[in-house]
Amino acid sequence: MLTSITFQNTLGVFGAVHQSGATVRSQVEPLLRELNITAVKTGMLPTAEIVVEVARLVREADLPAPVVDPVMSSTSGAKLISDDAFLALKSELLPLARLVTPNIPEAERLTGLRIDSTDGMHRAAQAVRELGVRAVLIKGGHLKEQKPAEAVDILDNEGKVTVFRGEWIDLAQARGTGCTLSAAIAACLGKGMSLDDSVRAAKEYVTAAINKTKA
C-alpha cells in the first residue's frame, strides 16, 4: 500500500504528499476480499492518522502480526514521520508487531538511549521490547565501533538474544537496504519460517543483492 508520494532522487528527498487514512484503507480492503494474507510489513507511516488506521486494519482483519520498519528519516536526513505519528507508532502499532527493525538512530529515538557499542544495542533491544514489542532486531550498520570489520545485528526475541555477524560493506550509494531487509523477513515469516531463520535468510538475501550491485 502507498502511504506517501515522495519527490526524491539519490541526493535527497525534496517533498511528499501523504495519503489519508481512508485512502490507505481503500488500498488494503480489496486485497483482504481476494487474498489470504500471510505476512504484513510496514514502512513509512508519516502521519498519526495513517498509523492509527494501519493498527485498526491489523486488529479488525485479524492480520498476521506485522514486521514494523520504524522509518523516521531518509538516508539524506529528511524527516519522514511527524511527532504525533511517532507517538502513535509507539502506542498503537508496536504492541501489535511480531518484530520491529530499527537502525541505531531509530532505536535511540525509540528508547532515549545513546547507542555506541554492541552492549548499548543489547540494552536498547530490551528497552524496545519493554514498549510491548515481542521481538526487536537492532540493525548495527550505523555503529561506528565495528567498521570496517563486520556488521553486527542483534535480535531479541521475547528475551532470547541472537547476534548476527557478517561482512560490513561500504557502499554509500545504497538505498533501501533496511526496507528490503524487513520485507524479506516478513516474506520468510509468511512462508512459515522461524524468526531466527527468517532474519538469517533475509540478511543473506540483502548481502547478496548489495554485493551484486557493488560488482
Residues 61, 71, 46, 176, CA torsion sign:
negative
Tell me the CA distances in angstroms from 141 to 122, 185, 211, one per residue in order. 15, 17, 15
Bridge partners, residue 138, by sequence: 154
Tell me the CA end-to-end span of the chain in Å, nearest whole number: 32
Query: What confidence tens digit (pLDDT) does each residue in 169-185 have?
Result: 665 555 678 899 999 99
What is the mean pLDDT of the segment spanning 103-130? 94
Q: What is the pTM of this model?
A: 0.91
pLDDT reading at 214 higher than 80: no
Length of the chain: 215
137 band by pLDDT with thresholds 50, 70 and 90: very high
What is the mean pLDDT of the segment spanning 12-17? 89
Among all chains, which residue has been given the C-alpha cell 527493525? 101
**What domains can be seen in the chain, in order of their start residue?**
4-168 (3.40.1190.20)
